[in-house]
Amino acid sequence: MSPAAESGRASRVEAHGIDVIGDDERHGRARDLFGVWAAPNVSYLSLVVGGALVLMGLELWQTLVVIVAGNLCWILVGVVAVSGPAAGAPSEVITRAVYGIRANRVVIGVNGWFISVCYAALNWSAASVTAFSLFSRYGLDLDTAGKILVIIGIAAVTLVISVYGHATIVKLYPLLSIVLTVVFAVLASFVLGHTDWTYQPRNTLHGVELWAALAAGLALVASAALSYNNSADFARYLPRTTKPAAVAGWTALGAYIPSVLFTVLGALAATTLDMRDPQTALAGMLPEWFDPVFLIAVIIGAIANNAMTIYSAGLAIQAIGIRMRRSRSVLLDGTIGVLLTMYALLVSNFLDAVSSTLQLMVAVLGPMMAIYVADVLLRRNSYDGHALSDETKGGPFWYVGGVNWAGVGALVAGAAPAFACISIPSLYTGFLADAVGGIDLSLPVGLVVAAVTYTVAMRGKVSATADEPAVEAMR
């Protein structure tokens, strides 16, 4: 067995990075992806989002519609995932077909690396604060040194998973999904027992105010899915013959089902609890024996989410052009993420600035996702991993000076109006959003404009085989 193939076992550090996975090293089934995507989405964040929707002033039935509709964006994540088995390469390499060799480095530097590290810092911060609370409940008030040790401990567990890599994630995450689901199911039993099924907001929204709340809610729910345009990273080891529809379906369902269920749970909790401080509110409702179990589950969920995030960030460093082993790039990303977490929790309100930046980045993440999906459909999911790995001047995806202006132009064309359509009270309101009464249309505008622009610019230029409908390759 080759060293690379040997590294495909859960007990070994993954040797592959952004290089092409050979057919002799492909393994697994599409349904394995369900557990991979379920674990990070059985999460405390879903509860927070559900509670936030009710706090926006929506009625319960309106909140449920927003949750079901907004989470449909996981279908896009599923479509992107099908490019992994086709190319045998991660998303960070496949998008060279979209932006060109040089431009892709910039795009991945911002989206694949910077945003990933920021998300990691946010997740580690949330997990660490939860751990601080857990220690406090047992009379252990941590000083600065103690808090640093907690942050490092949580990060260390995360990085072990990320360094061991793909096989470990595929093996471990279904088990984590089961454990987390059991804990959150117990939580659900307590929440359902306290739910006010006749709940009505204090002030019923009408007209422009209602549409503004609905649009903001959709953007909030969809933002989680739109941040995962790296789903090919976790599907690239599947055999080339794996049906694309199965890859897309299991990926989307793995994320969609828990996201919907637990966001709904957060909304139901908000009918009787003040979800502006979810942890405190839930603690007051839960029995004393279950509260620490719930807090530990929150920490485990954050670790599961971050392990995938840091894994992809490590691939992003390689795709940018920095030559180092994947395991080392993961450790580099983790170190930066830990330092940001410490700075955010122990020094300043830097976390607020990071959170605000990520809210605005939805205007870019939506167009990026739309363009990637459009490329998969235009090429009929026909990707050559070896051609994508050719970074030489004049190579298959060099385009003009290393830039595919169709992709870059579509990104700008989608992001510019999306920014103008953003409406985030107390942070930023674009002039187009202001013109329509504060209704945030950044999600549909960014997705549609970017996809249409890219499709028009690239139609007839892609090298997909045959003239059969694009949907054929998705079956």
Q: Where are the alpha helices (DSSP H) in 195-277?
A: 207-226, 244-269
Phi, psi at 335, each rounded to 5°:
-60, -45
- For the chain, what percent of residues have pLDDT higher than 70? 93
Spatial contact of 234 and 36, defined as CB atoms under 8 Å apart: yes
Query: 318: closest CA among 378, 367, 389?
Result: 389
Q: Categorize the per-residue pLDDT at 287 as very low, low, confident or very high, splitting at 50, 70 and 90.
A: very high
Phi, psi at 379, each rounded to 5°:
-85, 0
The tokens describing 29, both together, are 């089934």
Q: Categorize the per-residue pLDDT at 470 as very low, low, confident or very high, splitting at 50, 70 and 90.
A: very low
Mean pLDDT throughout 216-220? Answer: 91
Please give the Cα distance from 365 to 183 (Å, whole number): 32
Spatial contact of 309 and 119, defined as CB atoms under 8 Å apart: yes
- In this predicted structure, what is the pLDDT of residue 353? 65
Mean pLDDT throughout 464-475? Answer: 39
Q: DSSP for 367-423, please give it.
A: HHHHHHHHHHHHTTT---HHHHT--STTSTT-TBTTB-HHHHHHHHHHHHHHHHH-E
pLDDT digits (tens, 9 = 90+) for 296-354: 999 999 999 999 999 999 999 999 999 899 999 999 999 999 999 998 888 766 656 66
DSSP SS3 for 428: strand
Please, which residues bridge with residue 429 across strands? 423
- In this predicted structure, what is the pLDDT of residue 471? 37
- Its pTM stands at 0.92
DSSP 426: T
- For the chain, what percent of residues have pLDDT higher than 90? 75
- In this predicted structure, what is the pLDDT of residue 205? 87
Spatial contact of 47 and 265, defined as CB atoms under 8 Å apart: yes
Spatial contact of 269 and 191, defined as CB atoms under 8 Å apart: yes
Please give the Cα distance from 384 to 382 (Å, whole number): 7
Please give the Cα distance from 70 to 233 (Å, whole number): 23
Please give the Cα distance from 371 to 428 (Å, whole number): 25
Mean pLDDT throughout 379-396? Answer: 95
- Look at strands 428-429 and 423-424 and give their pairing: antiparallel
The tokens describing 472, both together, are 């054929």
Q: Exposure of 405 by Cβ count < 10 A (0-12 exposed, 13-18 middle, 19+ buried)?
A: middle
Spatial contact of 308 and 43, defined as CB atoms under 8 Å apart: no
- In this predicted structure, what is the pLDDT of residue 255? 96
**Which domains does the chain carry?**
3-362 (1.10.4160.10)
- In this predicted structure, what is the pLDDT of residue 9? 64
Q: DSSP for 7-21, please give it.
A: TTSTTS----SSSPP
The tokens describing 183, both together, are 């804990």
pLDDT digits (tens, 9 = 90+) for 95-147: 999 999 999 999 999 988 998 998 899 889 989 989 998 998 888 889 999 99
Mean per-residue pLDDT over the chain, rounded? 90
Please give the Cα distance from 430 to 192 (Å, whole number): 39
Spatial contact of 473 and 240, defined as CB atoms under 8 Å apart: no
Q: How many residues does the chain have?
A: 475
Phi-psi region of 185 (alpha: psi -120 to 50; beta: other; left: phi over 0): alpha
Give the position of tokens 């996975």. 21
What CA–CA distances, in Å, run from 238 to 11, 138, 171, 241, 244?
A: 19, 46, 14, 8, 10
Spatial contact of 246 and 78, defined as CB atoms under 8 Å apart: no
One-letter amino acid of 469: P
Please give the Cα distance from 200 to 427 (Å, whole number): 28
Spatial contact of 293 and 183, defined as CB atoms under 8 Å apart: yes
Please give the Cα distance from 388 to 395 (Å, whole number): 9
- In this predicted structure, what is the pLDDT of residue 152? 96
pLDDT digits (tens, 9 = 90+) for 190-204: 999 999 999 999 888
Contacts by 452-455, CB closer than 8 A, 24 or more apart: 453/409, 453/410, 453/413, 453/414, 454/98, 454/370, 454/371, 454/374, 454/375, 454/406, 454/407, 454/410, 455/374, 455/378
Mean pLDDT throughout 253-275? Answer: 94
Q: Which helix (H) or strand (E) holds 424?
A: strand 423-424
Please give the Cα distance from 33 to 193 (Å, whole number): 33
In 92-193, at which residue ranges do the beta strands (DSSP E only) sit? Answer: none
The tokens describing 322, both together, are 């920095």
Spatial contact of 418 and 442, defined as CB atoms under 8 Å apart: yes
pLDDT digits (tens, 9 = 90+) for 29-44: 999 999 999 999 988 8
pLDDT digits (tens, 9 = 90+) for 304-319: 999 999 999 999 999 9
Q: Where are the alpha helices (DSSP H) in 195-206?
A: none
